[in-house]
Structure 1
Amino acid sequence: MSNFELSDSQSYVPEKSSTLPSSPAGEFIVQFWGVRGLIPTPSSNTSRYGGNTACVEMHVVGKRLIFDGGTGLRILGKTWQEMQQPLEAHLFFTNCQSNRIQGFPFFAPAFIGENCFHIYGTAASNGASIKQCLYDQMLQPHFPYPLQVMQSELQFYNLTPDIEVKLDDVTITTALINQTQRSVGYRVTWQDYSVAYVTDLHQNADQVERERILQFIQGVDLLIANATYTPPTSHNHDSADLLWQAAVNAALNAGVKRLAISHHHPDDHDDFLDQVQVDVKSAFPQGILAREGLILIVAK
């Protein structure tokens, strides 16, 4: 690992309901555990795409990487508990907003002493570190138990944009995606394969921001991006094309091979997202809408 501060031929498979398999050497696999933005939305109208907030797992040549810790992290944790073996993983947070960190207090493997988790994030807009943000949300009256009750080894790393984290032959690069939210994106590279996790695109980005993002995601095998949306009070299904267009334009302009749109708005029910899927594919044939349980194989 370097440049950051230590603080206190691609193929894809369709959705599977099975657990992500053990990753033998040479594999690069992505699984979605939470695909909802802003707030969890469990209901009969969101059962196909899922109601848990953001969490994506990547297996890269035996390394376990997690991106964001929304409520999908709880489901991932329950699956890991079934393995009944010591775990080491790396958790990367895009920002400290509640929908990105709210699953962490319910991440059961963090309460087991034999496990080790490396936790990465940038400073929030108020200057708080990722450790401080996770610590604060577990204080009374928000949560009954403080972070200190987690018995696993927790190592925190303060990231800044435009640096690299090296995990043997896997490289994770960061970039500032949204200045207002202080959100970062991640590009994971192994050999000639790469996946970009860029989930805070916004409609009002200026030309400098757009160029920086396009350079960051240039030519990736898989781009995971959000469908930009307006605040919940003004969400309007009649203008749905404006919501996913930023992600599609980025994929087209950067020569991305595959696009997965995630962070669906809480008001977007399954039937509506089905129609959005049709519209996205008409504009970008290799584009899909992510749903919980979806597994994509980047490299065999």
Structure 2
Amino acid sequence: MANIELSGSQSYVTEKPTTPQNSSADSFIVQFWGVRGLIPTPGSNANRYGGNTTCVEMHVAGKHLIFDGGTGLRILGKSWQQLQQPLEAHLFFSNSQLNRIQGFPFFAPAFIAKNCFHIYGIAASNGASIKQCLYDQMLQPHFPYPLQVMQSELQFYNLIPGNEVKLDDVTITAALINQTQRSVGYRITWQEYSVAYATDLHSSADEAEQERILQMIQGVDLLIANATYTPPTSHNHDSAELQWQTAVNLARSAGVQQLVISHYHPDDEDDFLDNIQVDLQSAFPNAILACEGLVLPVGK
């Protein structure tokens, strides 16, 4: 791993999603465990797309990569309970806001000895490392048990934009995509295949930010992006097109093969998202909205 500081066939699964059984050392598979932004959204109006906050798992060349640890991380952890062997995985956080980290205290595999997790993130807006942010949210009175009760081996890495993480022949590159939120996106490359994870896009990105984003997503097989939205106090479905247009414009400019929109606003109900998907596909035919349990093979 270079330039990193070590710190102290598409399918849907609507119930009980499980880790893909056909993943192997020669496959690249993406699975969605949480697709919401801001806060979890339980309820009958979020059944089809799901209400857990963001968490995406990638099986790449036999390695487990996880992007963001919203409440979907808890469901991912439960799916791993069926696995008997010790686990090793790499968790990449796009930022340290609550909706990205709130599932970590409930990630059951982290409490099991012999498991090992490598955890990556950039400094928050107040300068706190990803280790400090995860540690702080598990302190009283916020949580009953401190991070130290986790029995697995936890290794923390402080990223800066531009870092590359090399895991054998898999390369993960971090790029700053939202200066205001101190958010990074990631490009994951293996052999001739590539996926970009950029779920903090915003419609008012300046020229420098747009250039960094375009460079990161250029020609990828799959782009996972967010539907941009206004703050929760002024969320307005009348401007629905603005939610996905930023991602579509970037995907077109960068020659992206497939676009997946995720990270929905809490007020976006299933019927509304169904309508968005129709509009989205009319603008970018090879685009879909993610739902919890969605499994996508990359390339092959």
TMscore range, shorter length? over 0.9
Gaps of 5+ in 1: none
Q: Report what 1:264 is aligned to.
A: 264
Letter in 2 for 1:272: F
**TM superposition shift of 1:85:** 2.0
Distance apart, 1:16 and its partner CA = 3.3
Residue 110 of structure 1 aligns with which residue? 110
The root-mean-square deviation of aligned C-alpha atoms, in Å, is: 0.9
Provide the C-alpha distance between the structure 2 equivalents of 1:239 and 1:14, rounded to a whole number of angstroms: 30
> Is contact 2:19–2:79 with CA below 8 Å preserved after alignment?
no
1: distance between equivalents of 2:143 and 2:59? 31
Q: Alpha-carbon deviations, 1:155-210, whole Å to 9, x = none?
A: 00000001100000000001000001110000000000000000110011112211
**Residue equivalent to 1:64:** 64
Instruction: Give, in whole Å, the separation in 1 of the partners of 2:149 and 2:186.
Output: 30
- Cα distance in 2 for partners of 1:173, 1:107 equals 25
Alignment match, 1:280: 280
* Alignment of 1:239 onto 2:239: yes
Correspondence for 1:136: 136
Task: Report the identity percentage.
Answer: 78
For residue 118 of structure 1, what is the amino acid of its counterpart?
Answer: H
Describe the SS at the equivalent of 1:299. coil
CA shift at 1:105, angstroms?
0.1
Give 2:83's aligned residue: 83
Contact 1:20 1:295 in 2 (8 A): no
Matched, 1:55 2:52: no
User: Which portions of structure 1, spanning 4 or more consecutive aligned residues, are displaced by more than 6 angstroms?
Assistant: none
Match of 2:18 in 1: 19
1:206 is the counterpart of 2:206: yes
Q: Deviations over 1:42-80 (max 9, x none)?
A: 000001000000000000010000000000000000000
Deviations, residues 206-241 of structure 1 (Å, cap 9, x unaligned):
122112211110000000000111101100001100
Counterpart in the other structure of 2:175: 175
**Within 2, Cα distance between the matches of 1:14 and 1:277?**
16
Q: Cα deviation per residue 1:122-180 (whole Å; 9 max; x = unaligned)?
A: 00000000000000000000000000000000000000001100000000001000001
In the alignment, is the contact (CA less than 8 A) between 1:188 and 1:194 conserved in 2? Answer: yes
8 Å CA contact retained: 2:221, 2:299: no
TM-score, reference length from structure 1: 0.97
2-structure distance, mates of 1:212, 1:186: 11
Name the counterpart of 2:42: 42
Query: Shift of the alpha carbon at 1:21?
Result: 2.2
Is the contact between residue 26 and residue 299 of structure 1 (CA under 8 Å) also seen in structure 2?
Answer: no
Contact 1:86 1:115 in 2 (8 A): yes
1:221-236 residue pairs with structure 2 within 5 A?
A: 221-236=221-236
Q: Which runs of 5+ in 2 are unaligned?
A: none
Aligned partners of 1:36 and 1:262 also within 8 Å? yes
CA distance in structure 2 between the partners assigned to 1:155 and 1:211 by the alignment: 32
- Paired with 1:41 and 1:173, the residues of 2 have a C-alpha distance of 31
- Residue of structure 2 equivalent to 1:98: 98
Alignment check: 8 A CA contact 1:89 1:118 kept? yes
* Between 82-91 and 164-173, the greater mean CA deviation after superposition: 82-91
Counterpart CA distance in 2 for 1:16 and 1:106 is 22
**Contact 1:35/1:54 (CA < 8 Å) preserved in 2?**
yes
Partner of 1:196: 196
8 Å contact from structure 2 (residues 33, 55) kept in 1: yes
- 2-structure distance, mates of 1:248, 1:257: 11
Supply the distance in 2 between the matched residues of 1:72 and 1:44 (Cα, whole angstroms): 18
Counterparts of 1:60 and 1:224, CA distance in 2 = 16
Q: TM-score, normalised by structure 2?
A: 0.97
Deviation by residue 1:92-111 (Cα, 9 ceiling, x = unmatched): 00000000000000000000
CA distance in 2, matches of 1:57, 1:79: 12
* Aligned 8 A contact 2:135 2:146 in 1: yes
Query: How many matched pairs?
Result: 297
